[in-house]
Chains A and B, each alone.
Chain A
């Protein structure tokens, strides 16, 4: 226990203690102003989300399905925690640089594993807290005291299931990556394919639980929805107990349900910990092995342009680092998969005539290609550009090699361009895949696809330079594992906020323009958007390159 506490304490200090060797920058007034503006801009959106969830809560009460719907919300939060956290857990527990050092200490592998897992739990707790805050609290408005108590306690239980799943998944994952040690590109591809399969299986499993049938009868539709939620709740037993601990009015019953939930979660976690700690040492040793390869590759000398060689270097560095590649390339598959699953699960209903309007969904889309285009653009902004780690880690991922940027006889403009171009290429692949899937699976009109492609492509350039710029201002160069380098990365957080604001602005302006009901006005709006973002792209590049000299020179490495 003493060893565990000592190690856990060190892990916390290593992550959260401020680096006192660096001067503490005084926050400037405009930083507060920008933060305030962002908060003000985000408030309506957050308010809208809260309102929707509040309405769901009211509807759930009317349908007598509060427990089932709450179970589903809790499960959804866990899926999000798992998606956000799996790479982090795997990195912290298995792929951390300190593993080699720790294994040499007189510590039991189980102690190291437990300390790292607890640390991972703490980090995931924060993610769970954030999502619970937005997803559950509005749901609970008007609920009793038991709900509030249960909610606070549930914060602590929510990350356990994702953590358990992550530790179990990690074991075969490590063996897969170790198996492909000689070819980490295959390991990266395998990792992405496994993720795609997990995603698709998850969505289809949820869908198959639904037993929903196409119907235009609202009452029947609600009944089907409730049946779906009940079916999911019956599978997610610990979450159902957790939900019951909040919805039960009698305190004793609520407390008992919480205890059930806790016992089941802890038992599942204990099994996972037992299995994982049993193979922990072997797993770590396996990934620390550095076998000699029998490479028969032909030695080939080649030279190239500086930007192209910098892009190649960055790409190879990413693609051969499976966990980093996972973060950086995930955006390519995320949006297309979501649209694919959405399309496939609603395949039958796309062409079905909706009685109220006398048209099918596909026919409606053909009537409003401009609306479809703006939805696709917003989707690309949020699901592709905002989740882009390629640009938001442009300098952070250099880690101890950052000095190379300073010593190489390459202009900072070339370095910035190389970083941004790589990001633009990856984003563009994501956008193209998303649009192709939309065209073939959702049967989106070609005009919408064309508009979305052109405007998204220009926004892509703006976002890439912006993310590179933010990362350049404050790169996190001292990381032990890539997750700690990426967690709370200012560039990705700010781009997420900017994307939300941009979606709000684009959507809001589109709404205002469409109010005039003059079709040509909407296309003028798109043309203005295009010109505006082209100008912004030039400005973003110019500012980033101009400031690069100051920022790069001032970074101590």
Chain B
């Protein structure tokens, strides 16, 4: 289970709280969609969960491991796909996979099996020995996804994962998210595309001005309005 307790973060500039006392629990086996308007605090929350940013207050615990107390074990248990697909572009796809496998202590035979499965799923075989810099936007997204899944993480975090993917790859990715959650893991992803969130997620959280203003299953939230989109627009309206 991923548990965020009283999580807060204030950036030095302006003194405004980007995340303000956020409490959230995501159960194993869930796909959790994290929604919010621009600047609501989605990325800041994700960056705190991944350890990229240090929270001012609060705790982040994954399956009993507190990121503050044991960052090493915590990091071993998640995979992260950032929104800008920033990665080591001078490496070839193959070198990147080998690098990520080594970083996450994936045994060679497991690495080979899992990498081959993903490479085939995402049709990256033809370009796997090319440098990542020569990849298209979507191909970069795919290689980063593969790198994040090699160690079969307990928590898979994706920031705007479907941007730039072709329909076939987007379908494959959604399917992969479902399979990963069904295997008892957590998929935590942020998106602006409400249709996708509605179709893929088990539960949804909506954040505004750093505060979690709504949490529930898609059906629970839809009951409060005509559609999820309308509900989102209503609760996030100024």
Contact = CB atoms under 8 A, between A and B. Distances in A.
Contacts of A409: 72-73, 75-76, 103-105
Most buried by B among A292, A312, A313: A313
Interface string A1-29: 00000000000000000001111000000
B128 A299 contact: yes
B111 interface: yes
Contacts of B103: 306, 309, 408-410
Contacts of A184: 90
B95 interface: yes
A62 interface: no
B94 A554 contact: no
A290 B134 contact: yes
Contacts of B105: 409
Nearest to A301: B112
A120 to B, nearest CB: 25
Given A400-B84, A401-B88, A407 B102 contact: no
A301 B134 CA distance: 21
Contact of A309 (B13, B94, B102, B130): B102
Interface stretch (A32-40, A122-130, A316-324): A316-324
Interface residues of B, number: 46
Contacts of B28: none
B54 A553 contact: yes
Nearest to A24: B12
Interface in A258-317: 290-293, 295, 297, 299-306, 309, 312-313, 316-317
A412 to B, nearest CB: 10
A557 B52 contact: yes
Most buried by A among B11, B72, B103, B127: B103
A435 B102 CA distance: 37
Contacts of B106: 303
B135 to A, nearest CB: 9
Interface residues of A, number: 40
B152 interface: no
A297 B98 CA distance: 15
Nearest to A399: B86
Most buried by A among B94, B102, B127, B129: B102
A292 B53 contact: no
A411 B115 CA distance: 25
Contacts of A303: 98, 101-102, 106-108, 111
A371 to B, nearest CB: 45
Interface of B: 11-13, 47, 50-54, 72-73, 75-76, 78, 80, 82, 84, 86-88, 90-92, 94-95, 97-99, 101-108, 111-112, 115, 127-131, 133-134
24 contacts: A20-B13, A21-B11, A21-B13, A184-B90, A292-B130, A295-B129, A297-B94, A299-B94, A301-B94, A301-B98, A301-B115, A303-B98, A303-B107, A304-B98, A306-B102, A309-B103, A321-B90, A400-B86, A403-B50, A407-B80, A408-B75, A408-B103, A409-B104, A411-B72
Given A22-B13, A299-B128, A400-B86, 14 more contacts: A22-B12, A23-B12, A293-B134, A299-B129, A301-B97, A301-B115, A304-B98, A309-B99, A309-B103, A313-B91, A317-B88, A403-B52, A407-B51, A408-B104
Interface of A: 20-23, 184, 290-293, 295, 297, 299-306, 309, 312-313, 316-317, 320-321, 400-401, 403-404, 406-411, 553-554, 556-557
